[in-house]
Structure 1
Amino acid sequence: MLYVPILKCKQGEKDALFMLENEVKDNIVPLLELTPDVIGRGNFSGISDFWKDRPFMFDVSFEHDDLLDDDYFKLLAKCDNHQVIPVIKLSDSNEKISKIFSTCKNGIALRLYIEEILDDDFESNYQDLLEKVELSRTSLIIDVQHVESSKINEVSFLINGAINLISNISEFQHVIFASNSFPDSLQKVDRYEITILNRLENKLFQKIKPHFNNNGVNVIYSDYAVNHWTYFEYKPGIQPSFNIRYTTEDYYVIYKGDTNKKGGLKIEKIQDACQQLISSQYYMGRDYSWGDNEIYEKAHSISNKPGNFTTWRAIATNHHITFIADLLSNQS
Structure 2
Amino acid sequence: MIKYAPVLKWKAGERDSIKKLDDSQVNQISPIIELVDSISEHELLKEIHETGLKSAFIDTIYSDISLEFYEKLNSINGITDLKLIPVFYIDDLFDDFSVIDTYDEISIRLEIPEPIDSLSYNKLFKEILKKTHTKIDIILDLIFIEDVQAATLKSVALKETLSQIKKYCMNINKLIISSTSFPNNLSDLEAGEEKKYKRYEFKIFNKIYELPEYKDFINKLIYSDYGVNKFTDTEMDFSKLQYGILPKIKYTTDSFYYVQKGKKDRIKNVYTISVFDMCDKIINSNFFYGKKFSYGDKKIHEKASERKGPGGNKDWVTISTTHHITVILKQLSN
> TM-score per shorter chain, which class?
0.7 to 0.9
Match status 1:222 vs 2:263: no
Residue aligning to 1:31: 32
Residue aligning to 2:144: 146
Match status 1:199 vs 2:199: yes
The structural deviation recorded for 1:222 is: 0.9
The structural deviation recorded for 1:14 is: 0.7
Residue aligning to 1:319: 323
Shift of the 171–99 alpha-carbon distance from structure 1 to 2, 3 Å rule, reads: closer
2 CA distance for matches of 1:222 and 1:262?
44
Match status 1:298 vs 2:272: no
Residue aligning to 2:121: 122
Find the residue that maps to 2:258 and give its secondary structure: strand
Shift of the 94–162 alpha-carbon distance from structure 1 to 2, 3 Å rule, reads: closer
Name structure 1 gaps, 5 residues minimum: none
The structural deviation recorded for 1:208 is: 3.0
| Conserved 8 A contact 2:263-2:272 | no
The structural deviation recorded for 1:74 is: 5.1
| Conserved 8 A contact 1:88-1:97 | no
Shift of the 58–203 alpha-carbon distance from structure 1 to 2, 3 Å rule, reads: same
With 272-281 and 204-213 compared, the bigger mean Cα shift is at: 204-213
Shift of the 184–127 alpha-carbon distance from structure 1 to 2, 3 Å rule, reads: same
Q: TM-score, normalised by structure 1?
A: 0.83
Shift of the 139–120 alpha-carbon distance from structure 1 to 2, 3 Å rule, reads: closer
Match status 1:113 vs 2:111: yes
Residue aligning to 1:87: 87
| Conserved 8 A contact 2:247-2:261 | yes
Amino acid at match of 2:9: K
Instruction: State percent identity of aligned pairs.
Output: 28
> Of residues 252, 260, 264 in structure 2, which corresponds to 1:255?
260
2 CA distance for matches of 1:263 and 1:42?
49
| 1:232-252 deviation line (CA, Å, top 9, x unaligned) | 497976744311111011110
| Conserved 8 A contact 1:33-1:59 | yes
Amino acid at match of 2:248: N
2 CA distance for matches of 1:189 and 1:41?
38
Amino acid at match of 2:326: T
Shift of the 270–140 alpha-carbon distance from structure 1 to 2, 3 Å rule, reads: same
Shift of the 41–58 alpha-carbon distance from structure 1 to 2, 3 Å rule, reads: closer
2 CA distance for matches of 1:96 and 1:67?
19
| Conserved 8 A contact 1:140-1:176 | yes
Name structure 2 gaps, 5 residues minimum: none
Residue aligning to 1:287: 292
Residue aligning to 1:9: 10
Amino acid at match of 1:14: R
Count of aligned pairs between the two proteins: 322
| 1:86-137 deviation line (CA, Å, top 9, x unaligned) | 2222211479864565345xx22221212447756222233333359546x2
Find the residue that maps to 1:168 and give its secondary structure: helix
| Conserved 8 A contact 2:17-2:321 | yes
Find the residue that maps to 1:183 and give its secondary structure: coil
Residue aligning to 2:20: 19
Root mean square deviation, CA, Å:
3.6
> Of residues 307, 313, 331 in structure 1, which corresponds to 2:311?
307
Find the residue that maps to 2:187 and give its secondary structure: coil
2 CA distance for matches of 1:175 and 1:212?
16
1 CA distance for matches of 2:204 and 2:182?
14
